[in-house]
């Protein structure tokens, strides 16, 4: 049995909760320090709250400690690892191998892509010394991964979506070279998103003021089956600095796509059924347009020289311009409050929010000069954004319930989808009802309220004419839910040993 994980980013505790709710099998989140995103740090107490929430669903929480570490910081890092271990962190993601020489607790270690995981000898070494998971370089093609995986014991993690860095995975010194802010210390200044001139050897300007190093965003949603077949067990979404609508939408999209690939030989790494209250669409949240990068060994265009900003979803071409308006193909879905953009006649990015639409004419700000034939993109979808600001998903653990009456005891047995079982015997003096009470009792237990559980099946063996007061039913239901949850948490480590891809 192969266990497949969808791994989502969490900027903070709240984002992590929503990633779990929308279908993540695991989330990765920054520690109070030493994570590769200095602007996305979290307190240990917040990480603990996220862990407690995730473990209810048998989802995991990984904490990033993937910067390089200075000599003076070694004790601080060691102490932090102990803190993270003591709150139940499932793994730490590391770059600096000094951690391997520390006296640390038996916590799982994941080698970050910052550890330069692109070469087989390097990867094999990490596998040999006991690294539990290797986060592969984005530059590795899928056929190469398949070749590697057959010779490794460690789990393999691979990015399937999100921003790309033009520098080779794990070896970005560009930011430090030009701004003295080190990406390997979590402070990347993103110089690859700036404008540059391309000048030939004989000093001729070939391109001027273009985003020559700005890559499109990765999107391997059409390659998931091949990635899984190659031996990858964790499919990772980039985006610890992204907004909540991105986290919800992207997680929901990949959850649906991955679920199509599950079968008797492949199962997801966590529990529960996810109910999405919207239709996910990768084009409707932040994206710089998409590339499959090097995944299939091709060299298709992977950069967008014109802009590093989000383009969003393609709407249509400008078909009419006036003194203060434009008309656009396929514009019926556009509404006031949407953000739209296009490239002007000099291929410069132009964007604005729609303040007024009259008879299909989009009224322009005074500074905007449109050009017929240019493609309009919507990079802010107000309706979609507002939808994702509300509750947009929930996750429920399936249960079944057996009710019996034996020797003046009500016996209730509840079993969840992971075969955790709780039974209790309640003393009860039989009272006769004036009518068949079974439907009432079944209906009462079918509603498990604001809990992580839902009832999928009830086998009611009680006498048809038994009368049970609502207060008694309420106490029984409360007892079942509270104790089943305790058993789930107690069995967490045992159940999640199924995690390893080699099972």
Cα separation values, 107 from 80, 104, 281, 360, Å: 12, 8, 36, 59
Position 255 scores a pLDDT of 98
Q: Which residues contact 201 (CB under 8 A, 6 or more apart)?
A: none
- CA dist., res. 365 & res. 324, Å (int): 7
At residue 327, what are phi and psi to the nearest 5 degrees?
A: -115, 140
**What residue ranges define each of the domains in the chain, with the CATH number in brackets?**
2-164+216-279 (3.20.20.60), 313-389 (2.40.10), 397-495 (no CATH)
> For every one of its 503 residues, what pLDDT tens digit does the chain have, with 9 covering 90 and above?
899 999 999 999 999 999 999 999 999 999 998 877 777 789 999 999 999 999 999 999 999 998 889 999 999 999 999 999 999 999 999 999 999 999 999 999 999 998 989 999 999 999 999 999 999 999 999 999 999 999 999 999 999 999 998 887 667 788 888 888 877 777 888 889 999 999 999 999 999 999 999 999 999 999 999 999 999 999 999 999 999 999 999 999 999 999 999 999 999 999 999 999 999 999 999 999 999 999 988 878 899 999 999 999 999 999 999 989 999 999 999 999 999 999 998 888 999 999 999 999 999 998 898 889 999 999 999 999 999 999 999 999 999 999 999 999 999 999 999 999 999 999 999 999 888 889 999 999 999 999 999 999 999 999 999 999 999 999 999 999 999 999 999 999 777 654 444 43
Looking at the whole model, is its pTM more than 0.75? yes
Pick from 474, 327, 483, 457: nearest CA to 402: 457
For residue 115, what is the DSSP state? G
The two three-digit tokens of residue 198, written as one number: 């391309």
Cα separation values, 264 from 122, 254, 261, 299, Å: 34, 20, 10, 36
Please say whether the beta carbons of 425 and 409 come within 8 A: yes
- Environment class of 176 (CB within 10 Å of its CB; exposed 0-12, middle 13-18, buried 19+): middle
- CA dist., res. 317 & res. 329, Å (int): 5
The 3-state DSSP class for residue 333 equals helix
């Amino acid at each position: 049995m192969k266990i497949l994980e969808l791994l989502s980013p969490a900027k903070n505790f709240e984002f992590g909760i929503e990633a779990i709710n929308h279908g993540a099998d695991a989330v990765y989140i920054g520690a109070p320090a030493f994570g590769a995103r200095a602007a996305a740090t979290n307190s240990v107490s917040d990480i603990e709250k996220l862990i407690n929430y995730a473990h209810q669903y048998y989802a995991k929480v990984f904490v990033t400690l993937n910067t390089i570490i200075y000599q003076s910081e070694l004790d601080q890092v060691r102490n932090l690892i102990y803190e993270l271990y003591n709150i139940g962190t499932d793994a730490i993601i590391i770059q600096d191998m000094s951690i391997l020489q520390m006296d640390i607790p038996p916590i799982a270690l994941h080698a970050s892509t910052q550890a330069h995981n692109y070469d087989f000898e390097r990867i094999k070494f990490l596998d040999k010394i006991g690294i539990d998971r290797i986060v592969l370089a984005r530059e590795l093609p899928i056929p190469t991964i398949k070749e590697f995986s057959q010779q490794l014991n460690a789990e393999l993690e691979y990015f399937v979506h999100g921003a790309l860095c033009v520098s080779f995975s794990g070896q970005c010194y560009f930011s430090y070279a030009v701004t003295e802010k080190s990406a390997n210390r979590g402070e990347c200044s993103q110089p690859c998103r700036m404008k540059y001139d391309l000048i030939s050897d004989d000093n001729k300007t070939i391109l001027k003021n273009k985003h020559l190093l700005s890559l499109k965003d990765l999107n391997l949603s059409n390659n998931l089956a091949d990635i899984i077949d190659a031996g990858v067990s964790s499919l990772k979404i980039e985006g610890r600095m992204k907004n909540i609508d991105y986290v919800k939408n992207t997680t929901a999209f990949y959850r649906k796509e991955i679920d199509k690939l599950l079968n008797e030989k492949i199962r997801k790494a966590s529990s529960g059924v996810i109910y999405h209250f919207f239709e996910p669409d990768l084009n409707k949240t932040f994206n710089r347009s998409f590339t499959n990068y090097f995944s299939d060994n091709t060299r298709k265009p992977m950069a967008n020289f014109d802009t590093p900003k989000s383009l969003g979803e393609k709407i249509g071409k400008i078909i009419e311009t006036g003194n203060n308006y434009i008309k656009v193909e396929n514009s019926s879905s556009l509404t006031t409050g949407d953000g739209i953009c296009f490239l002007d006649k000099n291929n410069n990015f132009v964007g604005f929010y729609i303040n007024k639409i009259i008879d299909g004419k989009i009224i322009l700000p005074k500074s905007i000069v449109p050009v017929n034939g240019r493609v309009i993109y919507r990079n802010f979808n107000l309706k979609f954004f507002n939808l994702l600001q509300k509750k947009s998903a929930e996750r429920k653990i399936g249960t079944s319930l057996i009710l019996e009456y034996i020797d003046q005891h009500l016996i209730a047995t509840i079993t969840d989808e992971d075969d955790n079982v709780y039974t209790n015997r309640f003393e009860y003096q039989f009272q006769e009802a004036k009518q068949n009470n079974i439907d009432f009792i079944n209906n009462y237990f079918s509603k498990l309220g604001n809990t992580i559980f839902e009832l999928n099946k009830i086998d009611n063996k009680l006498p048809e004419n038994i009368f049970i007061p609502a207060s008694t039913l309420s106490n029984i239901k409360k007892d079942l839910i509270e104790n089943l949850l305790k058993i789930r948490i107690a069995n967490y480590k045992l159940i999640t040993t199924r995690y390893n891809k080699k099972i």
